[in-house]
Amino acid sequence: MDITYTKHGDYYYHDLILPPQPTGDIGRFGRMRKQYLKEYQPGTFALMLMENTLTQHLIDIDREAMEQINLITFRLAQAKGVTEELKARDQIKWIRRMNSCQARAEEQTIREIVLV
């Protein structure tokens, strides 16, 4: 591997090129995971940062968390009897129950995926 230098003024600087970064949205759960790694697993955070795997890991965590939340919310809604019939009959009750299912799903997902 040849290292090249470029002169800027009186000094020579390395011509460093960063590898391509993955594209995608880190999202809410990816940001939560990043904060968790920084605070509670700084060694893992630093290693992933140096190996250029952190961004892809955060994107994957966010995608996985969203998929799990959708699945759990759907199953909880079925178990609680939150149906389209209820939505047509009493929208406020339907919204309350769906919000409850969504909150429980998010809480469980955060414990199982983000904070591991």
Domain residue ranges of the chain, discontinuous segments joined by + = 27-114
Give 102's contacts (C-beta < 8 A, 6+ positions apart). Answer: 69, 73
Q: Per residue in 48-80, pLDDT tens? A: 999 999 999 999 999 999 999 999 999 999 999
Q: Which of 26, 12, 18 is nearest to 54 (CA)?
A: 26
- 1: confidence class by pLDDT, cuts 50, 70, 90: low
d(CA 3, CA 25): 33
| pTM as predicted | 0.79
| pLDDT recorded at residue 96 | 96
pLDDT of 22: 84
Q: What is the mean pLDDT of residues 22-41?
A: 94
Residues of the chain with pLDDT > 90, as a percent, come to 80
The CA-CA-CA angle for residues 114, 82, 96, to 5°, reads 70
